[in-house]
A and B are shown apart, each in its own frame.
Chain A
Amino acid sequence: MDRVPVLKIGDILLVSIQIDLQDQSVLALQEDLAERIVSTGARGVIIDITAVEIVDSFIGRMFATIASMSRLLDAETVVVGMRPAVAITLVELGLSLGGVRTALDLEKGLALLNADGVSQTARALRDIR
Chain B
Amino acid sequence: MTQPGSAGQTRIAQLLTEHRDDVLGRWVAAVAGTVRGRITERELRHESEELYGLLVRQAADGPAGTAADELRSMLADLSRSRARQGFTPSETAVSVFALKQALFSLLEEKADVDADAKTYREFVLFSSVLDDLGLHTFETFAAAREQVIADQAESLLELSTPVVKLWDGIVAVPLIGTLDSARTQVVMESLLQTLVDTGSRYAVIDITGVAAVDTEVAQHLLKTVVAARLMGAECVISGIRPQIAHTIVTLGIEFADIVTKATLADALAHVLRQSGVQIISGGQA
Contacts and interface: CB of A to CB of B under 8 A. Distances in A.
Interface of A: 79-80, 82-88, 90-92, 96-97, 101-105, 108-109
Interface in B196-238: 196, 199-201, 223, 226-233
26 contacts: A79-B230, A80-B232, A82-B230, A82-B232, A84-B189, A84-B193, A84-B195, A84-B196, A84-B227, A87-B192, A87-B227, A87-B228, A90-B230, A96-B226, A96-B229, A96-B230, A97-B230, A101-B232, A103-B232, A104-B195, A104-B196, A104-B199, A104-B200, A105-B199, A108-B199, A109-B232
B196 A88 contact: no
B206 to A, nearest CB: 20
B71 interface: no
Given A88-B188, A88-B189, A104-B195, A82 B226 contact: no
Given A86-B230, A88-B188, A88-B189, 11 more contacts: A80-B232, A84-B193, A84-B227, A87-B228, A87-B231, A90-B230, A91-B227, A101-B232, A104-B195, A104-B200, A104-B232
Contacts of A82: 230-232
Sorted nearest first, the 9 A-B pairs with minimum C-beta distance are A84-B192, A102-B232, A103-B232, A87-B227, A87-B230, A104-B232, A91-B227, A82-B231, A91-B223
B227 A88 contact: yes
Residue of A91, A92, A96, A105 most packed against chain B (CB within 10 A): A91
Nearest to B230: A87
A104 B188 CA distance: 16
A102 B230 contact: yes
B227 A104 contact: no
A77 B200 CA distance: 21
B186 to A, nearest CB: 12
Contacts of A87: 192, 227-228, 230-231
User: What is the predominant secondary structure among interface residues of chain B facing chain A?
Assistant: helix
Interface string B25-64: 0000000000000000000000000000000000000000
Contact of A88 (B192, B199, B229, B232): B192
A87 B224 CA distance: 9
A86 B196 CA distance: 12
Nearest to B191: A84
A101 B234 CA distance: 12
B101 to A, nearest CB: 59
Nearest to A92: B223
B196 A91 contact: no
Given A83-B196, A88-B188, A108 B227 contact: no
Contacts of A90: 227, 230
B231 A102 contact: yes
A103 B192 CA distance: 13
Contacts of A108: 199, 201, 232
